[in-house]
Structure 1
Amino acid sequence: MIRLENVAKTYQTPAGPYQALAPVSLEVREGDVYGIIGYSGAGKSTLLRIMNLLERPTAGRVFVEGKDLTALSPRALREARHAIGMIFQHFHLFSNRTVAENVEFALEIAKAEKGDREKRVRELLEWVGLEDKADSYPSQLSGGQKQRVAIARALANRPRILLCDEPTSALDPRTTQSILSLIRDINQTWKVTVVIVTHEMDVVKQLCHKAAVLENGHLVEELPIRHARTAPASALGKLLFQEAPERLYPTEVLNG
């Protein structure tokens, strides 16, 4: 479904080159929920954004459903991205658009017919439990409601892959559980492959089938999560899965 072959990312800074991601190779199987975990600044979000080429790797290749995204023309890449939805930590909603208009935006970009857009928006808002908020604006919503709108928008074009960048870190524990339940339903009911970056180990344990552990831009281990019979092998993997998340991630360093 998703295959990364020796992808790396180096940024040019005033102080010189900065390697955010060392060569990483991994594969996400169709139908899985795949986690990416590690300390702040480990390269988690960079790795996720490379999967749909929001970040173009300095080296290596990205395959999605057998297509080498790094070799596609700009037009072909835009078309390939229709199969990939994405949700963010801070929702990225348009403040001057209603809930319905935010969800419809993805369909406008895909040039769907107006009637089809309206029908799809109604279906999605009902599915995420926000049909009564269609005419509300983001400023009138709670954090959990905003994330549900963002999820509905990400699903508008019926993607087969959903990339989630810290989707629950701005939410309270109760709301986090409802969003995790929604993501689980997306995976199980709609058969959408999910990749999730998170600093919350409970999220990984509840949701993921497998997880990559990153440290300083390096992939140090891949862990089976569901029904795992083996303990983490790396020192970081053991620490991540044994220590309380709040000890690992003070509030001021969560956004990595």
Structure 2
Amino acid sequence: MEPLRSELRVIEAAEALAKALGNDPNHTVAAAAMDTEGHIHTSVNVYHFTGGPCAELVALGVAAAAQAGPLVAMAAAGDRSRGLIPPCGRCRQVMLDLHPDLLVAVPDETGPQMLPIAKLLPHTYFFPDANAERVLRFNKRHYEPVAAGTKTSSVRWDELLPTGPVILYFEDDGRPPLRGEVLAVNNYHLDELTPETLRLDDGGTVEGYIHGLRQHYPAMPDDARVDVVDFALR
């Protein structure tokens, strides 16, 4: 997916730091990570023959030292004008375990793209003791109804979200995230959706709702199954 304005800031921060590295052979990659408050944490790798950490892993430590909580965007860039670079396999595994709702910037022929970390490491092992905080993303237009408690459900496709505590994060909004809890996740085929399952109490139609879903998920197939996520503020 195309980067949002806030995600472009993350990419720009990584690329700017990478350009400042010069020719130091011990530090060749820069990374930037954004938390749910919109703060950006930057870092560089530490190259060493014993296996120094990648810039992305250092960024996780920098963010943890700042008590940043879960991260929502990550980007890395190489020195000597190499530009945006994708994470290695080890970094992908660590990011997936510690920040499972992270979006990672990767280079593409059309420009930078943001991909869910789970898509960069499919069919993977999950570290059971990671105890990662989960993030439920929303378009910023939903802030007021969610904050007021009038919006308490959301439909998702191809997103794995368990029940339990969650941070409600509003993309490109600038306001602090909200704390919530996912109460239930019910799976339906598209043709099983009804006004009741979609919680349509505002006169909306199932057809209109599905049309909106297709705008948000252009790759969603006609025979897709979707999750109706019920949540509440904490």
TM-score, normalised via structure 2 length: 0.31
Compare CA radii of gyration and give the structure with the larger one: 2
TM-score, normalised via structure 1 length: 0.29
Which structure's residues are more often helix, by fraction? 1
Indicate the structure whose relative CO is greater, using CA pairs within 8 Å and at least 6 residues apart: 1
